[in-house]
Every structure is written in structure tokens, then in C-alpha cells.
Amino acid sequence: MKLHKESKGTLIVSSLVFAVISILSVYYLKMWGLVIVIPTLVIYGLIFWFFRVPNRDILDHKENVIAPVDGKVVMIKEVEENEFIKGPAIQISIFMSPLNVHICRYPVSGTVIYKKYHPGKYLVAWHEKSSTQNERTTVAVESVTNHKVVFRQIAGYVARRIVFRCNEGDAAKAGHEFGFIKFGSRMDVFLPLDAEILCAIGQKTKGGIDVIATMKE
């Protein structure tokens, strides 16, 4: 299983913690130490599972808007996007549990025209106000269909590290990685009002694969 490069620091720390707990538990508690070691081993294994990198065949997309993350659609509604679009947009929010793959991908192809990091709170990721109050990033892409699409990584109650590796002027390719969020979080995508929405609330998405909307030129 291939692991994401963001796993390095976390795995070093968790390996040391697991080793110390296991040694001390067995040394002082003998066989009873397994009561502590086994649950700790399960948690240790889940950390590896969290940082997995699945093999996915990413296609070229022009009009399609691709799910940027693995997760569950928790919101589809018309809102005012006041940071970049500064007007009405359709917001699609996808919540990621700690068991989901947390690679963040471009939802559309085009050119990056805006990026900004915002420090903030750590409300639970499914809270509606987390989109404007939590630690987050905002990226805007001028799509190949000449639409301005905004998407936002949002830290949750558990997630405390957002990584986004893109700069203004970069080429965005739908389905390809631009960032990562550690442990439980959310991504919001803001689309023009004339976008055709192809997903539904409660639907599970596979990042880089599933089409959640289309935008015509």
C-alpha cells in the first residue's frame, strides 16, 4: 500500500508512542498488557489506513466538475460567496470522516487565479458556519469553460493541518491533487448558478472520479 508523503511525521511519532506503550504495558502488566496493546495496535493501523493513496485513473475533463475529495455530500444550496465571487453561487459541501482518503483534488480544469489561507476556529466540519469561521483555505480557478470556480478546504474539530500546494498562475487539472487535510474535515465547492448539479445530499463521492456537476461554455 502506498502512503501519502504527508504521513511521514505522523507515522514517526505514532510509531514511537506505540512502541513505548507496548513495551511498558508488557513489562509491567505481563499478559494483561495485551488489553492495552491490542487496541493501541488497531489505532496504529487506522493511522496507516488514513494516509493510503488509492490507485485511480484520472480522465481529462472540460465541462465536468469532479468530486474534489472522498466523502459524503452534506449540503447543496444557493449562497452568497463573499470572498472572491462576491455574489450568488451554488455551494456543494462534502464531509470527510477520518476513515476517508483525505487527498484534495482540483474540481475543474483551468488556471489558478486566487489563493488564500485563513486562520480560524475548529468547529465540527459539518457545521454550516465552519465554511467562514474555521481554519480554511480558498482557491479560485478560471475554468476552461470560462467560469470562476471557488473551492475551500476546511479544518474540522479533529483536523488541525491543511496543506495546499498551488500558486496563482498554476495549471489546474480536474481530479489531480493540490493538497491534503489531516484527519476529518470538509471541502466546499462554489459553482455558477447555471451549473447543472449531478449529485445529491447524502451521496458518497470518490475524489477524482465522480462527476458532481457540469458547466457549459
Report, as residue numbers or ranges, the catalytic residues: 185
Strands (E), 29-147: 64-66, 71-81, 87-96, 103-105, 110-118, 136-143
First-residue to last-residue Cα distance in the chain = 40
Beta carbons of 153 and 178 less than 8 angstroms apart: no
For residue 84 the three cell numbers come to: 472572491
The Cα angle at residue 74 between residues 109 and 146, in degrees rounded to 5: 20
For residue 150 the three cell numbers come to: 471557488
Could you give the C-alpha distances from 144 to 30, 66, 127, 130, in angstroms and in order? 64, 14, 32, 30
